[in-house]
């Protein structure tokens, strides 16, 4: 195992069977060796910094019907909400005062937020906070739409590929959603100049080790500036309610491998990881992560953006707890990086 980890750290690459062995590694000792290398590579490029982003979940309406997701269209139990432009700006103002310099606007694919409406929101944030980065996570849109939002002032876009195996993708999504379209979106985003984030869930139903190897190969080829990886967690009102959650250990192993494959990647320790694992954020940082995204959404709405059961949105996941977040990171030897936290050598602006 040591040779595989050494080679991965040196070349950013390993053979498929070696990746399979790492993903399935069951000894804690080998996992810790992998995490130590991932930390060292992260430290070399970014130091022991946690780049902090304020997450604003501004709508949970969604026209899609992803089988795993709690805000899927057919979940009649979901209490739907959408924030107004003024409410979104109020979140940004609160976040700015707390020290945040990146705002992440995430939502379901809500047709209410047409290009005109989104451009107005992005332009208003850009005008008020010229020193901040604006990250969007709005799902699949046309290239023209992505371009308009970029021109209005958005800098980054998160769109997980979910799985790099087209057949597996088809088992997680309704037939209207196709893998090729997801990839087209990611390529458009990169070509336009967004710092682009892809990513996947660990332990999603029907996923096998080969799927994960394909995910890693896909990321190697795409070279996104950001990668979001978290465990799948079932939601009780979805077709996947009875499927087990993905494992925290395997998620940490995938994060560490991605750090070694893409040394400068911006890699969040996700809320889903914190939901399945006590101290998940610190464990993520210790496996090579360098981004945290506490929740800046209004408190009364947080309980409604339920992608999965028991989603953490309070305590150390809440943006207003920055002081407690700072202390918990500091106790583990990390410090919050309060700047925009752009990708190193990536496009600015």
Q: Per CB under 6 A, which of residues 255..284 are in contact with ligand SAM?
A: 272
Give the residue with the Cβ less far from ligand SAM, 109 or 215: 109
Instruction: Indicate the helix (H) or strand (E) that contains 168.
Output: helix 166-172
Give the burial string for 242-272 (b: 16+ CB within 10 Å, else e).
ebebbebbbbbbbbbbbbbbbbbbbbbbbbb
286 binds ligand SAM (CB under 6 A): no
3-state secondary structure of 349: coil
Instruction: Indicate the helix (H) or strand (E) that contains 327.
Output: helix 322-331
Q: Per CB under 6 A, which of residues 7..66 are in contact with ligand SAM?
A: none
Stretch that binds ligand SAM, among 43-51, 156-164, 207-215, 248-256 (CB under 6 A): 156-164
Nearest to 47 by CA among 348, 318, 329: 329
Identified binder of ligand SAM from the candidate list 108, 268, 284, 341, rule CB under 6 A: 108
Stretch that binds ligand SAM, among 9-17, 123-131, 210-218, 226-234 (CB under 6 A): 226-234
CB of 13 to ligand SAM, least distance (A): 25
Residue whose tokens read 């949105």: 313
Give the residue with the Cβ less far from ligand SAM, 292 or 307: 307
Give the residue with the Cβ less far from ligand SAM, 159 or 322: 159
Stretch that binds ligand SAM, among 101-109, 165-173, 277-285, 330-338 (CB under 6 A): 101-109
Identified binder of ligand SAM from the candidate list 105, 189, 233, 282, rule CB under 6 A: 233
3-state secondary structure of 278: coil
Stretch that binds ligand SAM, among 32-40, 44-52, 96-104, 230-238 (CB under 6 A): 230-238
Identified binder of ligand SAM from the candidate list 216, 254, 293, 307, rule CB under 6 A: 307
What is the C-alpha separation between 288 and 253, in angstroms, rounded? 10
Identified binder of ligand SAM from the candidate list 164, 308, 317, 337, rule CB under 6 A: 308
Stretch that binds ligand SAM, among 189-197, 231-239, 287-295, 337-345 (CB under 6 A): 231-239
Instruction: Indicate the helix (H) or strand (E) that contains 148.
Output: helix 143-151
What is the C-alpha separation between 147 and 310, in angstroms, rounded? 36
297 with 81: CB under 8 angstroms? no
65: tokens are 């019907």
Residue length, the chain? 349
95 with 319: CB under 8 angstroms? yes
Nearest to 210 by CA among 279, 164, 275: 164
User: By the criterion CB under 6 A, which residues form the site for ligand SAM?
Assistant: 68-69, 106, 108-109, 137, 139, 159-160, 162, 201, 230, 232-233, 235, 272, 307-308
């Amino acid at each position: 195992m040591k040779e595989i980890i050494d080679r991965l750290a040196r070349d950013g690459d390993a053979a498929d069977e070696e990746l399979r062995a790492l993903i399935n590694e069951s000894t804690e000792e080998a996992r810790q060796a992998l995490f130590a290398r991932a930390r060292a590579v992260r430290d070399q490029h970014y130091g022991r910094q946690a780049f902090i982003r304020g997450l604003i979940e501004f709508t949970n309406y969604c026209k899609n019907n992803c089988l795993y997701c709690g805000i899927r269209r057919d979940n009649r139990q979901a209490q739907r909400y959408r924030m107004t432009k003024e409410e979104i700006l109020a979140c940004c103002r609160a976040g700015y005062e707390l020290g945040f310099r990146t705002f992440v606007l995430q939502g379901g694919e809500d047709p209410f937020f047409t290009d005109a409406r989104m451009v107005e929101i992005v332009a208003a944030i850009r005008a008020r906070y010229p020193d901040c980065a604006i990250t969007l996570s709005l799902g699949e849109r046309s290239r023209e739409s992505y371009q308009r939002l970029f021109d209005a002032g958005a800098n980054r876009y998160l769109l997980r590929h979910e799985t790099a195996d087209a057949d597996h993708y088809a088992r997680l999504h309704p037939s209207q959603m196709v893998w090729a379209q997801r990839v087209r979106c990611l390529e458009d985003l990169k070509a336009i100049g967004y710092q682009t984030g892809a990513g996947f869930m660990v332990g999603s139903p029907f996923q096998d080790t080969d799927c994960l190897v394909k995910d890693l190969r896909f990321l190697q080829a795409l070279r996104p500036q950001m990668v979001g990886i978290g465990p799948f967690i079932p939601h009780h009102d979805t077709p996947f309610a009875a499927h087990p959650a993905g494992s925290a250990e395997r998620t940490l192993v995938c994060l560490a491998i991605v750090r070694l494959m893409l040394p400068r990647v911006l890699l969040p320790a996700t809320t889903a990881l914190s939901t399945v694992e006590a101290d998940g954020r610190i464990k993520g940082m210790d496996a090579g992560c360098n981004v945290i995204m506490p929740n800046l959404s209004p408190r009364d709405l947080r309980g409604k953006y339920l992608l999965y059961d028991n989603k953490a949105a309070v305590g150390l996941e809440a943006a207003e707890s920055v002081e407690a977040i700072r202390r918990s990171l500091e106790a583990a030897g990390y410090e919050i990086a309060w700047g925009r936290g752009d990708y190193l050598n990536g496009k600015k602006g």
